[in-house]
A and B are shown apart, each in its own frame.
Chain A
Amino acid sequence: MIAQAFVDLWHGFGVSFELNNLLWTIFGVVIGNLVGVLPGLGAFTAMALLLPLTFTMKPVAAILMLSGIFYGSMYGGAISAILMNLPIHASHAVTCLNGYPMTKKGRGGAALGICMISSFVAATFGIILMVFASPAIAELALKFGPAEMFGIMLFGLLAGGSMSSGHPLKGVAMTVFGLLLGVVGTDVNSGVIRYSFGITELTDGVSLIAVALGIWGLAEFLRSVNKVTLLSTGAKVGWKDTWPNKKELKESFWPMIRGTLVGSLFGCMPGTNQVTAAFLAYAVEEKVSSHPEEFGHGAVAGVASPEAAQHSKTQVDFIPTMSLGIPGDPLMALILGALMIQGIAPGPQLITEHADIFWGLVASFWTGNLLLLIMNMPLVGLWIKLLEIPYRLLFPSAMFFIAIGVYAVNNSIFDLWETLAFGLLGGLFAVLEFPPAPILLGMVLGPLIEENFRRAMLLSRGDMLVLFQRPISAVFMVMCILLVALQLFFWLRKMMRARAKARAEGLATQQA
């Protein structure tokens, strides 16, 4: 099997080096890096914006480009975190803790260099894991019946909803709301049209792009307008400055490896995000370090480890997405959405039926990451310049690209109204502190989960217990229950602590 993986991977490199695919990969990682650096635009917005462009492309090129934006943005985000102490993207917040002190000591360039190297090492490890784990998981999953698929999807949904940041119930509510959005349109089993409200355009279902660009485009701008600080940095970093010295390299080697392992472990858990992975890696590093007092004052280890963790997590994220068709976060859901628009059904059969997509993607990860490593070190100066592009010019331009992008999908004006509606809804959700990410998970998984549930119940003659009788689905159902129990436990503990604290404070005021 290992030999087979190498043969397939070789084939994948062939696919990823085809001129067309290579150019789109380069395009993707450059755009990704760009939005990573710029405040006010995230990787998700950029992916959603460029999604309409992919309709004219071949599936392989489309997926390579979209993924390139995703991991490219991770490299870009580190730059503002280290040089300006600004975590524009939350997962780089930990990097600031030691990256910025290094900048103050004049080693900012080296911190960036370490960051790029550990990102590359971690991505490479994640890719290797993907090469061997994905086909194995997919092969196993091909034997799954509807009950097993339902169990896995339910777990993915619950984890994605309850473990996203903020109020767990609100996260689950958004997942369920996404499921409802997925119901709109023609029911595949009976041909009945559901929830179209008499609108012809809705018989095809709610447009994924309208939801994505409404909630991550318009609603994001509603949140940020007049509130984005203009960034400008005095730091001058050239190519030569990004070379770390021998001591820094030596000090960051083991943290890099440990961070990579932490990130990979987290990658296997649906619903956890890059922020968690980075935090945990930092905490581990602080524990095992022989100089914990240096942490927070420019320890190289504190830069290398969290950066490595988020990069391996990013790569490992692709494993459930590609081998099971179950996305772990909204970015993955969008990539699956792009595949579906291309007429490719995600699921365990994807790796064998569309070998060029899967192996081409894996190989392009490596070429893309290598490219980012080579490109970023000399271009750091240019990226810093880009930080000075004012948001007041950036967002009206992005609005134009949203409008034309949405229209391009179906040449339909209705889609534009739909986007506007979801923009308003997204704004409302943001005010009420609902996490938006699970909506897309629910929407993409909704039709699949319904289909599998219906089939499972048909096969078991309406016996719900079948979900607990088949071993694999039973494992996932138990995991679902554990997840809910754990959330309840954390919630109760938090309440008890808060109450104890309130009581202690009350006593203190009484005594005073």
Chain B
Amino acid sequence: MSGIIDDHSVINLEGISKNYKVGDIDVNALIDVTFTINQGELIVILGPSGSGKTTLLNMIGAIDIPSKGHVEVLGYNLTKANRHALAAFRRQHIGFIFQFFNLLPTLTALENVEYAILLQKKKNAQEKAREVIKEVGLDERVNHFPSELSGGEQQRVAIARALAKQTDLILADEPTGELDYETGIQILKLLVSAAINENKKRTILIVTHNADIAKIADRVIRLRSGKVISDIKNPSPIDPEELRW
């Protein structure tokens, strides 16, 4: 797969490899991965457990560094950046949604969203947070702590946190992994609408092992054993409501 760089590309990966040692064993999590993602695309990275999809997402999200290769996201060369530059990059440009929500346990739903805005040193953080929380349908649960919310509610707070940052790139690692079917659909709807609402300027990457979810994507990149085995456009993505798994 060659990386074609065009003017609208937001992610450019060239020859990315990631290996690490587990005891005496060398593990090649990623092997020579190369592709480009354009602005406004909704991409699903699909693969079984251990295929390297989360590792790949972590590279793009600047929370991990490749052993080899070049990572460029939104014009930033992440492979050469130091810790502080990476932190600043994540702060301003990345919205991350984790499989296990990773909300701060001592902050309420509203405060978790507010926290992300405050990191960007933006004004009126609380008001903005309220708006976003309302968008995800949790305005009646704003003052609850994560331990008082259901899994779906927590994930919606996590999405709100990512959306509130108003970043160009949202990365979601198995966002429906811990949720039941109905809740999962709701989450996917939120993610899709997040892409659409921004006039297709926001790029969204979803990592999943669930092939059905890939049907909502504009493009599906398949990984197996650390390698990209296919990168196919989806001519007609479907609405999350139509998904069945």
A binds B: no
Q: Which residues of B contact A (CB under 8 A)?
A: none
Q: Which residues of A contact B (CB under 8 A)?
A: none
